[in-house]
Structure 1
Amino acid sequence: MTLRSRILVLALSLLVLAGVATASVLHASDRADRRDRARPGGPRITAGPVALTGAGARMVFRNMAWGPHRDELTSVRAADPSGPRTASGVKCLRFHAAAGTGVCLQAVHGPVQDTYRAVVLDAGLHVRARYDVPGIPSRARVSPSGRFAAWTAFVGGDSYAGTDFSTRAAIVDTRTGRFTPSLETFRVVRNGRPYRAADVNFWGVTFAADDRHFYATLATRGKTYLVRGDLRTRTVTTVRTNVECPSLSPDGTRIAFKKRVAGLPADAPWRLYVLDLATLRETPLAESRSVDDQALWRDDHTLVYSLPGDYGADLYAIPSDGAGGPRRISAAAVSPAFLP
């Protein structure tokens, strides 16, 4: 056999082996999908239209159940969040919506590495605008009027638990298109004085109803602060220390947040609290587990948040006054928005 013939035989053998390996992987993947679709007790999901208005009170969220609709925006009746799901076909890593406007943070799969983008959606989940996101998506919020959208991404590290991370928080005016790619361009006032530092980070934006003010977390020199932002003056002012991932109540009087508590493990350091903005009095909530999420107000009395579950994450609800206790409302779900 000539050298050329040997090379040809070797090349053909490698192609056959590659084909066998690919077929095996696809077969295993198909079996896994069929197994997960048939797993007893899993959510019932069907494809169908999902809208951000006009469909009655709904909860729209990222579906985490394995199968053909994993990661899709999915809708259920708000009164039955563990009930049958309608999957939209639109995939998001993080999501929020209000007043017919949605923001969807997506992965864009490339040949070498993934990139990320933020997509502003209309009430029918059609794309209105796209923006590059500089790292792994983490938080997303839309203002009560639907005019503003915000998102946070990790640009170094991938967890708020440690100290080796950096974030970018962006805000866009969905009406005018004015885009602020980083809140680090805003003027910072700390303890009544202008403040500048190279290590300033922002995350977890939550909007007031006036289309002007917002709250967020500022981190610098090993401390975190709740800040109140002003979109007109492009200023943020510190309010209180040790506040992360704030969420403003519908009535605008309280902030739900996660607080680092001394003595807890370094990888699970948080407990949920509610801060009264008028008195700055904190109320611990009746959740003993560490919650790494930006809790969402379902109404003025109830908070919803995610915790790790069998499919990645489950949603829980808890009273905002510190009474009662947590209850799981939906398995295999994350990033909810409650739509009237």
Structure 2
Amino acid sequence: MKVRSTVLVIAVLVLLGGSLGYVLHARQRGGQHQLVAAESSFTLNAPGLYYRDTATGRVARSQGAPDGPSCDRFYAAGERALCLRALPGIPARTQAVVYDRRFTELQTVTVPGIPNRARVSASGQLLSWTTFAVGDSYAASGFSTRTSILDLRTGYLVKSIESIPLTVGDTRYHAADVNYWGVNFAADDNRFYATVSTGGQTHLVEGDLRAWSARTLRENVECPSLSPDGTRIAFKKKVSADPAAPWRLYVLELAGLREHPLAEARSVDDQAAWLDGETVGYALPGRDGKGSDIWTVPADGGGAPQLLVPGGSSPVTVPAATGTTATATATATAS
């Protein structure tokens, strides 16, 4: 009996050791996203608010536990989610990871710089991200950005959209200091809106992917966010020379280019997100002096700011799933 018991204990230990070895091997081969898939049922299939939990750096749903992947910036739409992670080491590098609704990794792109902005088109087929190539704040002088666009329909990656032909007013424009950031896609998966900075001025630009062109619409518009109905843009406007509080949130009506300030009087250094057709969400420094909190404000300029999620950032409202499509996993590095 002692021999049989000993054999049984050894067999169990072997099985446990094999399982532990597989988990460690998966950690080394597949990265953190595979561990999330193995340890959690966290998905995008439940509609509601998703955001980055600043205490853990992981994605959370509503007020639930942060069981999603670790991200520095997060966004989701359609059948896709986009996660930006700062990679360790010098020089700074960012890993842009594309997921499906089950948080299965579909594609990874590594680019230079610090994670800054992330957006996904309503269809989930177009993704864009911005990194700081130089500096880490729009309030500082001498910063430089790098903005990429990935088209999942074709697999084509635009490593930097700075090469897009730009028209300022009625004139084709060329300058060495052109920077783009904060891309937002229209519902047709062709038009997009973004900020371009040059000559000390910022502009709202409307871009055309098929024609590969961009034109300025208005000055002093940063980090645009297109409303669900495609008629308005929430943005931050520079209203002060004070580097500690230079911006205020506004909404611009695209039809007549009329703007109005929102009830949030504090300076917001974030790309606001439309949580529904009438509400804008954004992050402000945390009231406890750590991380950030998510606040909301009515888009019509009325009401008052409301605290939505203490200790959160990167808010996005995800609707119910409408079906999924298979996409091959790929890995790419952009230089």
Stretches of structure 1 that go unaligned for 5 or more consecutive residues are: 1-46, 77-82
Distance 1:88 1:149 in 2: 23
Contact 2:94 2:131 survives alignment (8 Å): no
Check if 1:50 corresponds to 2:50: no
Inter-CA distance 194–114: structure 2 relative to 1 (3 Å threshold): closer
CA distance in 2, matches of 1:272, 1:231: 28
Residues 50 and 86, structure 1, Cα contact 8 Å, conserved in 2? no
- Establish whether residue 125 from structure 1 lines up as the match of residue 103 from structure 2: yes
Q: Which residue of 1 aligns with 2:12?
A: none
1:48 touches 1:86 (CA, 8 Å); kept in 2? no
Within 5 Å, which residues of 2 pair with 1:94-109? 94-109=73-88
Equivalent position SS for 1:87: coil
Which residue matches 1:167? 145
1:230 aligns with 2:230: no
Give distance in 1, aligned partners of 2:239 and 2:298. 20
Q: In structure 2, give the amino acid aligned to 1:204.
A: G
Residue from 251, 270, 273 that aligns with 1:296: 273
Whole-angstrom distance in 2 between the partners of 1:64 and 1:198 = 36
Whole-angstrom distance in 2 between the partners of 1:91 and 1:121: 12
CA distance in 2, matches of 1:220, 1:288: 27
Partner Cα distance (1:163, 1:147) in 2: 34
Partner of 2:260: 283
Q: Tell me which of the two structures has the higher relative contact order, counting C-alpha pairs closer than 8 angstroms and 6 or more residues apart.
A: 2
Instruction: Give the drift of 1:316.
Output: 0.4
- CA contact under 8 A between 1:261 and 1:270: conserved in structure 2? yes
SS at match of 2:175: coil
**Which one-letter code corresponds to 2:132 in the other structure?**
F
1:323 corresponds in structure 2 to: 302
Any idea what the Cα deviations from partners look like across 1:315-339, whole Å, max 9, x if unmatched? Answer: 0010001001100000111112211
Alignment-derived partner of residue 179 in structure 1: 157
CA pair 339-71 structure 1, distance change in 2 beyond 3 A: same
Q: CA deviation at 1:132?
A: 1.3
TM-score normalised by the chain length of structure 1: 0.80
CA shift for structure 1 position 139: 0.4
Alignment of 1:81-100 (within 5 A): 83=63, 85-100=64-79
What residue in structure 1 maps to residue 228 of structure 2? 250
* 2:125 paired with 1:139: no
Preserved CA contact (<8 Å) 2:167 2:173: yes
Provide the rounded CA distance (Å) in 1 between the counterparts of 2:117 and 2:68.
21
| Separation in 1, partners of 2:111, 2:50 | 22
Q: Is the Cα–Cα contact under 8 Å of residues 92 and 112 in structure 2 kept in the other structure?
A: no
Distance 1:269 1:114 in 2: 26
Deviation of 1:113 after TM superposition, in Å, equals 6.0
Mean CA deviation greater in 101-110 or 243-252: 101-110
Letter in 1 for 2:227: S
C-alpha distance in structure 1 between counterparts of 2:187 and 2:157, whole Å: 19
Selected match of 2:51 from 39, 42, 61: 61
Does the alignment pair 1:75 with 2:54? Answer: no
The amino acid of 2:59's aligned partner reads: L
Does the Cα contact within 8 Å between 2:92 and 2:114 map onto a contact in 1? no
Task: Name the SS for the 1:290 alignment partner.
Answer: coil
Distance 1:265 1:94 in 2: 26
Structure 2 CA distance, aligned partners of 1:267 and 1:182? 29
Residue in structure 2 matched with residue 36 of structure 1 by the alignment = none
Normalised TM-score (structure 2): 0.81
Which residues of structure 2 form unaligned runs of 5+?
A: 1-38, 320-335
CA distance in 2: counterparts of 1:327 and 1:272, whole angstroms = 14
Q: Tell me the distance in 1 between the aligned counterparts of 2:188 and 2:91.
A: 40
**Residue 156 (str. 1) matches residue 129 (str. 2):** no
Output one character per residue of 1:166-221: Cα deviation in whole Å (capped at 9) or x when no partner. 00111001222100011101110110221110100000111100000000000000
Paired residues in the alignment total 279
